[in-house]
Amino acid sequence: MAQLSILRYPDPRLHTVAKPVAVVDDRIRRLADDMAEIMYAAEGVGLAATQVDVHERLIVMDTSEARDHLVVLINPQIIWRSDEMRVAEEGCLSVPQIYDKVERHASVKVQALGRDGETFEMHALDLAAVCVQHEMDHLLGKVFVEYLSALKRDRIRTKMIKKTRDEMRDA
For 102-157, the pLDDT digits (tens) are 999 999 999 999 999 999 999 999 999 999 999 999 999 999 999 999 999 999 99
Question: Annotated catalytic residue: which of 56, 135, 146, 167?
Answer: 135
DSSP helix/strand/coil, 106: coil
Provide the residue ranges of all domains of the chain, joining segments of one domain with +. 12-170
- pLDDT at residue 2, rounded to an integer: 60
Q: Cβ(21)–Cβ(74) under 8 Å?
A: yes
For 62-108, the pLDDT digits (tens) are 999 999 999 999 999 999 999 999 999 999 999 999 999 999 999 99
Q: Cβ(61)–Cβ(128) under 8 Å?
A: yes
Q: What is the pTM of this model?
A: 0.95
> In the annotation, is 135 catalytic?
yes
Q: Cβ(69)–Cβ(60) under 8 Å?
A: no
12-170 in CATH: which number?
3.90.45.10
